[in-house]
Amino acid sequence: MLPFRHVAIIGMGLIGSSLARAVRARMPSARLTVTDADADVRARVIELGLADDVADNAGAAVTDADLVIIAAPLGAFAGIGAEIAPELAHGAVVSDVGSAKQCVFNTLSPLLPSGVHLIPAHPVAGTERSGPDAGFATLFVDRWCILTPLPDADETAVAQLTDFWARLGSRVETMDAHHHDLVLAVTSHIPHLIAYSIVGTAADLEGVTQSEVIKYSAGGFRDFTRIAASDPTMWRDIFLTNREAVLEVLGRVTEDLVALQRAIRWEEGDLLFQRFSQSRAIRRAIIEAGQDTAEPDFGRHHSDDQPSSASPSSASASASSGD
């Protein structure tokens, strides 16, 4: 028995279009209705055949749906919540895929009618690409999906949403929303902020031309640019909506950077070695947990004879390593 008979997805970027493809593949008998604020995106979704119905607006999309997933930037949630509230069916589950969770409660709880179950969720998966063509059905396979229900949330609704994500191949865990936001500030938000900062610094550095930055970019800088290529609207909203946790962790990172700066200045090699060894152990633990590959160059495949003529499949594998 399917956990939901009619799924509505609002927003058809990377995550939304991947969800649509995954639902089609794993729960083909479920009715699927989608929408997007951009008319061109809606037209492309119709061309791709990603859903049973493509609605012109969010209110029309959620009519009769028993699961509504908001896959739009966090800054759009207030407008979406106000639009869908009058059209939601009694007993429907409203969820999302955002990278910050406390703000979802703060924004949507006052807008949604009684009898609707708000259960925020965060599939920890993605790539730096965006748009309906970027999605793929296996994006969530063997990736964590974190649900952040309130303590008094309806147990049946939580179980249904857990089953839904498990059917898409995810490993599901529940967590307090505030704790989720702190954890993701460490594992995702601050790394993205640092990537944006490093790439911006390289572009602005006097005495180093942009052509040199591109021509001589080493593996570490290339990976920073991959992260910094993520959707700017989405990440602007993440930093603003999770600002307390981000600022808390950023303060700690700043202190650690100052300590490393001092160790380099005073040639404290033992301290540097200790910190670098700790970081290396974390990397090994991530690989052992199956969250990344131990292959050289992060699993990228290169041609020994013609490095500039990588196959399309190789290029795709490189670009689809998500955060």
Q: Mean of the pLDDT values across residues 27-41? A: 97
Task: Provide the token pair at 260.
Answer: 């490393």
- Predicted confidence at residue 318, as pLDDT, reads 28
Q: Using one digit for the tens of pLDDT, what is the confidence trace for 138-168?
A: 999 999 999 999 999 999 999 999 999 999 9
Token look-up 């800054």 returns: 75
The domain segmentation of the chain, as residue ranges, is 6-175, 179-265
pLDDT for 278: 86
pLDDT for res 311: 32
pLDDT of residue 203: 74
Q: For the chain, what is the radius of gyration of the CA atoms? A: 21
Q: What angle do CA 139, 142, 145 make, to 5 degrees?
A: 80
In the predicted model, is pLDDT for residue 303 greater than 60? no
* % of the chain at pLDDT higher than 90: 59
Q: Which fold has domain 179-265?
A: 6-phosphogluconate dehydrogenase C-terminal fold (1.10.3660)
Asked if domains 6-175 and 179-265 share a fold, the reply is no
Q: Kindly report the length of the chain.
A: 323
Q: Which of the pair, 94 or 231, is modelled with greater confidence?
A: 94
Given a cut of 60, is residue 15 above it in pLDDT?
Answer: yes
Average pLDDT, integer, range 238-248: 89
The average confidence (pLDDT) of the chain is 86
Rounded average pLDDT over 288-308: 56
The type of residue at 140 is F
Please give, one letter per residue, the 3-state secondary structure of the chain: CCCCCEEEEECCCHHHHHHHHHHHHHCCCCEEEEECCCHHHHHHHHHHCCCCEECCCHHHHHCCCCEEEECCCHHHHHHHHHHHHHHCCCCCEEEECCCCCHHHHHHHCCCCCCCCEECCEEECCCCCCCCHHHCCCCCCCCCEEEECCCCCCCHHHHHHHHHHHHHCCCEEEECCHHHHHHHHHHHHHHHHHHHHHHHHHHHHCCCCCHHHHHHCCCHHHHHHHHHHCCCHHHHHHHHHHCHHHHHHHHHHHHHHHHHHHHHHHCCCHHHHHHHHHHHHHHHHHHHHCCCCCCCHHHHCCCCCCCCCCCCHHHHHHHHCCCC
* Per-residue CA distances from 205 to 209, 221, 223, 226, 286 (Å): 8, 14, 19, 20, 33
Residue 304 has a pLDDT of: 41
Region 38-45: mean pLDDT is 97
pLDDT score of 302 more than 60: no
Residue with more model confidence, 242 or 85: 85
pLDDT exceeds 60 at position 54 = yes
Q: What pLDDT band is residue 204 in, cutting at 50, 70 and 90?
A: confident
Percent of the chain surpassing pLDDT 70: 88
- Superfamily for 6-175? NAD(P)-binding Rossmann-like Domain (3.40.50.720)
Interval 71-116: pLDDT, tens: 999 999 999 999 999 999 999 999 999 999 999 999 999 999 999 9
Beta bridge partners of residue 147, listed in sequence order: 121, 174
- pLDDT confidence of 201, banded at 50, 70, 90? confident
Residues 20, 136: Cα–Cα separation, whole Å = 9
At 298, is the pLDDT very low, low, confident or very high (cuts 50, 70, 90)? low
Q: Quick one: pLDDT at residue 300?
A: 55
Tokens of 300: 């990228």
Instruction: Please name every residue paired with 118 in a beta bridge, in sequence order, or none if there are none.
Output: 94
Range scoring the smallest mean pLDDT among 110-124, 151-165, 204-218: 204-218
Between 166 and 288, name the one with better pLDDT: 166
Residues facing 172 on adjacent strands: 145
Amino acid 206: pLDDT: 58
Mean pLDDT of 267-280: 88
Q: What is the pLDDT of residue 82?
A: 97
